[in-house]
């Protein structure tokens, strides 16, 4: 494997990890989970909003971001009078990223507990704040 192919594979691996991390945003994860549960007919923004407990505008915003990244697609758009109904389903790429993320979380196990600092001192001079940690909780 030549150096160009190797760097391309490393870059795509980093992109996959970045996309998995991006999907794990709490609202996006709820949206994707509900859309997957909705089956092949998909889910509308109003259904999502009422079922995940978020505002329709927030659902629409995140769906737009996910559509731009190729994670969801609009399968049906129907009009009833002045109302527009769009239904979204996950793309195969989205399902693949979720499967990779679940596999990674199974292999890695739970994240180890972190020790919390006992005292934090913030010192600022000019426009450069610095943070110093003193001691640890025992």
Q: What is the mean pLDDT of residues 110-129?
A: 55
Q: Enter the pTM of the model.
A: 0.64
* Token pair belonging to 138: 């025992």
Q: What is the mean pLDDT of residues 41-61?
A: 90
Which residue bears the tokens 């160009």?
4
The answer to whether position 133 is within a domain reads: no
Residue 109's φ and ψ, nearest 5 degrees, are: 70, -175
The answer to whether position 119 is within a domain reads: no
The reported pLDDT for the residue numbered 114 is 58
Domain count within the chain: 1
Measured between alpha carbons, how far is residue 25 from residues 12, 18, 30, 123 in Å?
A: 21, 12, 9, 32
CATH number at residue 20: 1.10.10.10
Q: Which of 4-8, 41-45, 97-101, 129-133 has the lowest mean pLDDT?
A: 4-8
Beta bridge partners of 125: 128
Q: Write out the residue range of the structural domain in which residue 9 sits.
A: 3-112
The answer to whether position 87 is within a domain reads: yes
The reported pLDDT for the residue numbered 77 is 72
The answer to whether position 104 is within a domain reads: yes
The answer to whether position 25 is within a domain reads: yes
In tens, the pLDDT along 59-101 reads 999 999 999 999 999 887 777 777 777 899 999 999 988 888 8
Which residue bears the tokens 């945003």?
25
The answer to whether position 32 is within a domain reads: yes
The answer to whether position 10 is within a domain reads: yes
């Amino acid at each position: 494997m030549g150096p160009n192919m190797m760097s391309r594979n490393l870059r795509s691996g980093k992109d996959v990890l970045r996309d998995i991390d991006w999907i794990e945003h709490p609202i996006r994860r709820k949206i994707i989970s509900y859309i997957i549960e909705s089956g092949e007919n998909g889910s509308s923004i109003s259904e999502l909003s009422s079922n995940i407990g978020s505002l329709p505008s927030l659902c629409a915003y995140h769906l737009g971001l996910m559509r731009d990244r190729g994670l969801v697609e609009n399968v049906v758009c129907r009009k009833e009078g002045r109302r527009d109904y769009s239904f979204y389903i996950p793309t195969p790429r989205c399902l693949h990223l979720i499967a990779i993320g679940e596999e990674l979380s199974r292999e890695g196990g739970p994240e180890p507990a972190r020790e919390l600092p006992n005292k934090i001192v913030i010192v600022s001079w000019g426009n450069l704040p610095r943070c110093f940690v003193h001691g640890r909780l025992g």
